[in-house]
Structure 1
Amino acid sequence: MKYPLLLLLGLFSTAHANDAIKLNCPMRGALTVSFFDYHLITMKWGDHFQVASGKEQGHTTAGVPFWSTTFGNGDNLAFFPNSGSYYLFYAGSQEPVLCTEVGSYAYPVITPPRYENNGGVTESQAKRTEDDVVLLHPAA
């Protein structure tokens, strides 16, 4: 009984990428926003990569619901589910820019190959002792 429970907990304790969206935002261009379990969100554009943790739910003064998240560089991404609109607040800016959703997709589930923890060391190499190793000091 204990082992099936541990296996079940192990399956739910890993972070999985659920889905991603591709956005086109003024001044930044094409970017990919990925949504992971445990409220982890990443944003990538060009050679840049930012991470955010958590979503804050809110309403505008007119009562329109939205959620927003803050990335490590200070950018804020806001999503309005009623209209399906994404807005990006660049770090230090109070004015949002409307981003166009170019597409969305789900990440494929893969199982990475298993490697043994011997680091590729052969059995004869693993049996070497300190007497087998000679350290040479480079001449000054």
Structure 2
Amino acid sequence: MEKDKQPVNRKYTKRALLLIEIQNDYFYKGKMELEGSYEAAYKAKKVLEIFRKKRKPVVHIQHIAASKNDSHFISGTFGAQIFEDVVPIKGEKVFIKYHSNSFYGTGLLEYLEQNGIRHLTIAGMKDNMLVDSTVNTAKDLGFVVDLVSIS
């Protein structure tokens, strides 16, 4: 086994929370309102509070539409903003993404590597599409992943 492909010991790895696309367009009067969005945000907020209390790294992934002709997450709009219950605070990293995978073109991998993070707790909206692609990539890259189902 290659050195960088060694199994990761969960107990001794640095862990971060990755919150994916918990943005206003998924909520009431948003351009892509999801059923259960408020319950999902509540669950994400509880996980976020645990990470903040333990002073663990938190990373927010914010999707911005690649084109102003897209239906939601248009740059500069209220709908594209991160939902108020999980809004980033000082010291929390925010990455903007334009594709479904949070690693693609964002600098996320470099950030995690630079900070020695090898264990991710991931929660986000639209598990079947957006979260899955990020979880699969994280596992392919050798991260230990805990998926928190919020939606």
- Taking structure 1 as the reference length, the TM-score comes to 0.26
Bigger helix fraction: 2
User: Which is greater in Rg?
Assistant: 1
Q: What TM-score comes out, normalization by structure 2 length? A: 0.25
Relative contact order (C-alpha < 8 Å, sep 6+): which is higher? Answer: 2
Structure with more strand by fraction: 1
